[in-house]
Amino acid sequence: MKNRSLVSIDDLSKEEILKVLDLAEGFEKNPSQQILNGKVVATLFFEPSTRTRLSFESAVNRLGGRIIGFSEASSTSVSKGESLKDTILTVANYSDLIVMRHPIEGSARYASEVSGVPIINAGDGANQHPTQTLLDLYSIRKTQGKLDNLKIVMVGDLKYGRTVHSLLMAMSRFNTSFTFISPKELQMPLEYKMYLDKIGLKFKETSDLAENIKDADIVYMTRVQRERFSDPLEYEKVKNVYVLRNGMLQDTKPNMKVLHPLPRVNEIHTDVDDNPKAYYFPQALNGVYTRMAIMALILGLK
Amino acid sequence: MKDIKQLSVNAIHNGTVIDHIPAQNLFKVITILGLDKINSKITFGTNLESQRMGRKAIIKIEDKFFEKDEINRIALVAPLAKLNIIREYEVVEKMLVEVPEEISGIVKCMNPKCVTNNEKVTPRFKVVDKKNVSLKCHYCEKITDQEHMEYL
Ligand SMILES: [Zn+2]
């Protein structure tokens, strides 16, 4: 991975994914390694995403690196109409690595083609967010002790949710059995179901939450957003149907963990938070170790 | 008989004849091959009757020979096109177009939020379905199908 950009989870082989996870494990055991000493990481957030930015910046700081950048585009030359190419070429002069979030889809791939330093895609519109996928994989492996042969239940907005699409693609390399639970309007797109058929992985599609999480190893929750519905009445009908409550966890497997990319709205009731099966806050912490590992590999420091 | 039909546009001495272009795509073929920018003598006929494809167009270009990569660029708009290479009024070679693995700079990505529609970036695609030509954007990774293809 040395000197390579990370734009899409598909850019990584299965071996490379496992290498990132192994290294992240090392950083979890010993998070204060000063290996980024003397390095400058640019965090260019053309749209705000406080959570992702802080996670990256925490990872850089813990490793002894320095950070330059901006947290929204409005205060920069971008708002004066500067092209993405010019911004990237300029910032590449000042940094060893660029972490970039941008609302335009494909912007990270393009940036990686014009930049002299590697780019890490921290989200390009609805397209890709590979470090989220890697931290999800890390969380799954850490809680289950393995990635192979697991049963994963995905809940909520499966149509537009890029995190579930990337996670599906990544986990499909590990003989996963999937269950998709969503309102009809937000079902998993056909292309992903066709892909699973093609590679011979089983999946189940249903709209009943409580019944279908009983044999799950991982329940991956996502937000159902009002703006995804053309008919506001439809949203009102489903908004409380896909809510996970503590009572539902009673008959689930002891190893089961609930994941969520955060921020949540109401899809996980707060009464779940104290259940040991709730894993969404530790999941966010895993993001720091995973991002440490990715940066260390790309900069050739590990 | 066929040859007589082709003669409805004058024969050429040396050059290339592109036949079986769908009539409605004639000008797209001209643009894609840049025929509007070269100095060769060019004649074309359109709305000619064709048993295979309804109305077809034909282009004859004097003193111009195409590389395979160059000609494959028209595969999206004229997948059935046939080329006759002419030397001294004789057909010396025939070529068919082939849908390439990748294309760039011909079609627009149908995703309005794609970087190719928002910055000065040449669209690039992987051809994921050759039969019902559908294209996966190299940048935003969305699919542009035949129905939504818009030419640059
Ligand atoms: Zn695109």
Summarize pLDDT for A98-143 with one digit per residue, the tens: 999 999 999 999 999 999 999 999 999 989 999 999 999 999 999 9
**pLDDT at site A26:** 97
Residues in A closer than 8 angstroms to B114, CB to CB, are: 104-106
Which residue segment(s) compose the domain that B123 sits in?
A: 102-151
**pLDDT at site A108:** 98
**Span A210-225, pLDDT tens digits:** 999 999 999 999 998 8
Residue of A nearest to B143 (CA): A191
SS3 A135: helix
Whether the Cβ atoms of residue B83 and residue B17 lie closer than 8 Å to each other:
yes
pLDDT confidence bin for A157, thresholds 50/70/90: very high
Q: Taking residues A54-82, what's their average pLDDT?
A: 89
**pLDDT at site B151:** 81
Whether the Cβ atoms of residue B96 and residue B48 lie closer than 8 Å to each other:
no
Q: Taking residues A168-193, what's their average pLDDT?
A: 94
Strand bridging mode B134-137 / B124-129: antiparallel
Residue B9 included in any domain: no
Whether the Cβ atoms of residue A99 and residue A55 lie closer than 8 Å to each other:
no
Same domain, B89 and B112: no
Min Cα–Cα distance to chain A from B115, Å: 5
Q: What is the mean pLDDT of chain A?
A: 94
Residues in B closer than 8 angstroms to A159, CB to CB, are: none
Same domain, B27 and B90: yes
Q: For the beta carbon of residue A73, count every other beta carbon within 10 angstroms.
A: 18
Q: Which residue has the tokens 């938070």?
A: A273
Separation of B42 CA from ligand 1 center, angstroms?
35
CB-nearest partner of B141 from A84, A107, A127: A127
Tokens of A297: 């590999």
Residue B1 included in any domain: no
Same domain, A136 and A278: yes
**pLDDT at site B1:** 45
On the question of pLDDT at A39 being above 80, the answer is yes
**pLDDT at site A138:** 98
Task: Please indicate if any CB of chain A lies within 8 Å of the CB of B137.
Answer: yes
Same domain, A55 and A147: no
A11-15, A82-86, A226-230, B76-80: the lowest-pLDDT one:
A226-230
On the question of pLDDT at B2 being above 70, the answer is no
Residue of B nearest to A128 (CA): B140
Q: Taking residues B79-106, what's their average pLDDT?
A: 91
**pLDDT at site B8:** 45
pTM of this prediction?
Answer: 0.85
Residue B8 included in any domain: no
Task: Report which of residues A294 and B129 the model is more confident about.
Answer: A294
CATH (domain of A180): 3.40.50.1370
Could you give the percent of chain B with pLDDT greater than 90?
A: 59
Listed residue (A283, A135, A162) closest to A223, CA to CA: A162
On the question of pLDDT at A76 being above 90, the answer is no
Separation of A114 CA from ligand 1 center, angstroms?
17
Could you give the percent of chain A with pLDDT greater than 90?
A: 84
Same domain, A151 and A197: yes
**pLDDT at site B132:** 76
Q: Taking residues A290-297, what's their average pLDDT?
A: 98
Q: Cβ contact (<8 Å) for B115 and A104?
A: yes
Q: Cβ contact (<8 Å) for A104 and B113?
A: yes
Task: Report which of residues A69 and B150 the model is more confident about.
Answer: A69
Which residue segment(s) compose the domain that A236 sits in?
A: 131-284
CA distance B15 to A208: 67
SS3 A238: helix
Which of B96, B120, B140 finishes a domain?
B96
Residue A84 included in any domain: yes
Same domain, A69 and A135: no
On the question of pLDDT at B105 being above 90, the answer is no
Min Cα–Cα distance to chain B from A122, Å: 14
The structural domain count of chain B equals 2
Residues in A closer than 8 angstroms to B141, CB to CB, are: 8, 105-106, 127-128
**pLDDT at site A81:** 83
Structure letter (DSSP) for residue B4: H
Beta strands in B1-142 (DSSP E): 15-22, 42-50, 54-62, 82-87, 90-96, 102-104, 107-108, 124-129, 134-137
CATH (domain of B138): 2.30.30.20
Tokens of A164: 């579930």
Same domain, A65 and A42: yes
Min Cα–Cα distance to chain A from B126, Å: 14
A232 upstream amide cis, omega within 30 of 0? no
Separation of A292 CA from ligand 1 center, angstroms?
30
Same domain, A163 and A259: yes
Counts for chain A of helices (H) and strands (E), in that order: 10, 9
CA distance B83 to B20: 9
The helix (run of H) or strand (run of E) holding residue A151 is strand A151-155
Same domain, A114 and A138: no
The structural domain count of chain A equals 2
Min Cα–Cα distance to chain B from A84, Å: 7
**pLDDT at site B10:** 65
pLDDT confidence bin for A234, thresholds 50/70/90: confident
Q: Cβ contact (<8 Å) for A106 and B120?
A: no
Residues in B closer than 8 angstroms to A191, CB to CB, are: 143
CA distance A182 to A69: 38
Q: Taking residues A162-178, what's their average pLDDT?
A: 95
Which of B96, B116, B143 finishes a domain?
B96
Q: Is A11 exposed, middle or buried (0-12, 13-18, 19+ CB in 10 A)?
A: middle
Q: Taking residues B14-29, what's their average pLDDT?
A: 92
Q: Taking residues A170-197, what's their average pLDDT?
A: 94
Could you give the percent of chain A with pLDDT greater than 70?
A: 100
Q: Cβ contact (<8 Å) for B139 and A8?
A: no
